[in-house]
A and B are shown apart, each in its own frame.
Chain A
Amino acid sequence: MGKKVGRFFLYLFLIFLAVICVIPFAMMIVNATRSGAQIMSGFTLIPGTSAKENWDLVFDYFNLFIGMRNSLIVAIPATILTAYFSAITAYALAIYKFHGRNIIFYVIVIFMMIPGQLSLIGFYNLCFKLGMINTYWPLIIPAIASPGTVFFLRQYVLSILSPSLLEAARIDGASEVRIFHRIVLPIMAPGIATMSIGAFIGNWNSYLVPLLILTSPPEKFTLPVMIASLNSSQDIAANQGAKYMAVAISIVPIIIAFCFFSRYIISSITAGSVKE
């Protein structure tokens, strides 16, 4: 009996916590359909009828779909570059014995611990000098060198790849490039996929660097930068419904994607830290 009651309260607590996680989004969606005046007058969970007006107000100010497109233009290549080059670097560091590989490895470990702010000003200054301001290059190219991903994948290669497999391939006369692409890459795929999910989310949500690099509003802005500039619009500042609508447009697709891929996304967080 006591056990039943205890369990009941435990579930109650868990459900309560789950509601807290979800309710702000629910409020957002409801408010996105109500007019500014309705929102001011009180809160209800019944959707209003002003969704269309709010939508128009937002898109009058900027086109959020362009922001999404820009975010994808940055996040997809950046993720692919991170995945591929981290894999090849990690593989090289794990398998080949060459001069300097230990130095590279230590530098990677050190840079994993260096906070981003340390390079921020120098990075900005560099992009400036290279004429890369207001282009997507500074957001994409650095993805080639992602110390954290390399670190993880190196451990992964060491734990999963058996040297005898490589030797066998070499005896068969396969070139190193071929060995990597045909044999190693497929074996590493789960690890790469796991890291890619994390990389993609990180790139998609990134705010500070795009804020600094992208100067011409709004056609080049990525979604987070666009959303953050919402408050500059007096029309939107004066109508909370439109503000909720804009935020909702930025959030809802992610929630939908999360519903489908949550398992993989969640496994990607634990992979980075626990397994190694």
Chain B
Amino acid sequence: MKKMLALMLALVMVFGLLTGCGSGNGSKDAETTKAAEETKAPEADTTKEAVETEAPAEDAVKLTIWTLAGDLKTFAEKYMEEHKNVTIETVVIDPGEYVDKTQTAILGGDKSIDIICGEPQMVGNMYDAGLFADLGALGGSEFEGQIVDYVWDVGTDADGVLRAISYQVTPAGFYYRTDIAEKVFGTSDAEEIGKYFATYDGIIDAAKKLKEAGYRIFASDGETNYFSGDSAWVVDGKLNVDPSRVQYFDFATELYQGDYTAYAAAWSAPWYAAMAGPVPVLTADSDVNVWDGDAFAEATEGYAQTEIFAYGLPAWGTLVMRDHYGDTKGKWGICGGPSYGFGGGTFVGVSELSEKKEEAYKFIQWMLSDETLTWWIDKSEGDVVSKISVLEANKDFKNPLYNNQSTYAMWMKLAEGIDYSKVTQYDTIIGNKWGEAIGKYKTGEMDKKAAYEFFYDEVASAYPELTIERTLLED
């Protein structure tokens, strides 16, 4: 028994030691990470990074940003470079958990968060919960009339109080490989290629041509997702499945079953990999280990590698491209899709509980200055900003990384049709359920009726307050 006690003691001591080592190692690692970070180009993925200025000035300020993606981190680094007295800690939280985490933290009394963000479909709930401070009162009103209207509207709550501003607009388009376009379609002109992408039939048509030539049009079958949202999911408390949704349903199924894609899941490793060059052809029920070069070559005659023609992404896709295009750098063009679409958009505001609201606003003010936004366009290789003066100034900008295409003019054209009023707080969950229903149908797990029914059941369960007429089941 005594031995046992001694052992317990030893256990506690060992763990105590571990703690000591742990924290020792911890700080060392933090340092090396930091060092690595400095030499590395700013990247969008590190969750959190506290970069300290060397000798903090006397009026040192420390701000904390909770954001959804790496973009604000890049902004924060630039801000710290220009303002030596400011330290910014950027915490990147997974979008799926973002509202939950911020709501819990701020309503739970966390005063340490200064700047918070939200995407259009999230901000409604966040305004209701009172997470955002009155940005207009902090000075945000100065930007009235300088920001694209619909962005301004999303940043304003139901009572007309300004809560958040986004620095970007997020029209969606297709990024396509100009070299492949030349080979298959004889042209790489955005207008011409855009004609194919203007209708679902056109896309299937292009997909067939590309497949015959040994290419695949998309890596995943979700690439047109951004263009299926030209209607609101909920209208007057009623679930609204617009015909365009059903079209997309059938279209995604056709892409999948017709073997026009590379069967990668969007945002998965093979999906990224396909941006950089050839990838093996995956089929729906592939019996080939496509990832093993040797076995692949041996086992597959008649199988071939393929290249992916296009990605459907919003304007901020330039950031994704920048980080993943590898050898295909400079071989991309941008054109419009079958309808207007958009995706995401980081709206930035100040936390209601922040104790440094003035300082936090200064960051937002800086972020929206012409100089900063111009810097951002360059840094992001062509992300589209929301400030009218900067948009005008860059209208004719020919993007060298996109074959000198006037990408800005293209995005501005695509942005004309953006209608954030169609965004609802229900979008994320209903959209996910719709996607699941498509998945169940296209892989043959369910017939169409069962898939629709699945969708209706799921939405009814999640949102009992919605009126749901099961119109799709009628015919």
Contact = CB atoms under 8 A, between A and B. Distances in A.
Interface in A202-220: 212, 215-219
A78 B186 CA distance: 70
A65 B23 contact: yes
B60 interface: no
Interface string A229-247: 1011111011110000000
Contacts of B272: 238
B109 A133 contact: yes
18 contacts: A36-B269, A42-B291, A61-B45, A65-B26, A66-B22, A73-B19, A128-B107, A131-B108, A133-B104, A133-B110, A189-B5, A215-B104, A215-B105, A216-B91, A216-B110, A218-B48, A231-B94, A239-B269
A26 interface: no
A59 interface: yes
A40 to B, nearest CB: 4
A167 interface: no
Given A233-B47, A237-B268, A65 B29 contact: yes
Given A134-B108, A216-B112, A41 B292 contact: yes
B281 to A, nearest CB: 15
B297 to A, nearest CB: 12
A125 to B, nearest CB: 10
Interface of B: 1, 4-5, 7-8, 11-12, 14-16, 18-19, 21-23, 25-26, 29-30, 32-33, 36-37, 43-48, 91-94, 97, 101-102, 104-105, 107-110, 112-113, 267-269, 272, 289, 291-295
Given A193-B5, A235-B45, A65 B12 contact: no
Given A56-B36, A65-B29, A232 B46 contact: no
Interface in A30-44: 36-37, 40-42
Contacts of B291: 37, 40-42
A203 B20 CA distance: 19
A63 B107 contact: no
A122 B74 CA distance: 40
Contacts of B268: 237-238
Contact of A66 (B14, B26, B104, B267): B26
Contacts of A8: none
Interface of A: 36-37, 40-42, 56, 59-63, 65-66, 68-69, 72-73, 76, 127-128, 131-134, 189-190, 193, 196, 212, 215-219, 229, 231-235, 237-240, 253, 257, 261, 264
B47 A217 contact: yes
B30 to A, nearest CB: 6
Contact of B29 (A63, A193, A233): A63
Contact of B93 (A37, A61, A217, A257): A217
Contact of B26 (A69, A217, A239, A240): A69
Given A65-B26, A264-B7, A237 B93 contact: no
Contacts of B97: 232
Contacts of B112: 216
A257 to B, nearest CB: 8
Contact of B1 (A42, A132, A190, A240): A190
Given A56-B36, A128-B108, 4 more contacts: A61-B47, A69-B22, A231-B94, A238-B269
A60 B33 contact: yes
A41 B97 CA distance: 33
A127 B110 CA distance: 13
A190 B4 contact: yes
A60 B23 contact: no
Contacts of A232: 47, 92-94, 97
Contacts of A218: 47-48
A76 B9 CA distance: 12
Question: 9 shortest A-B CB distances, which residue pairs?
Answer: A133-B108, A232-B94, A40-B291, A215-B105, A41-B292, A235-B45, A65-B26, A69-B22, A238-B269
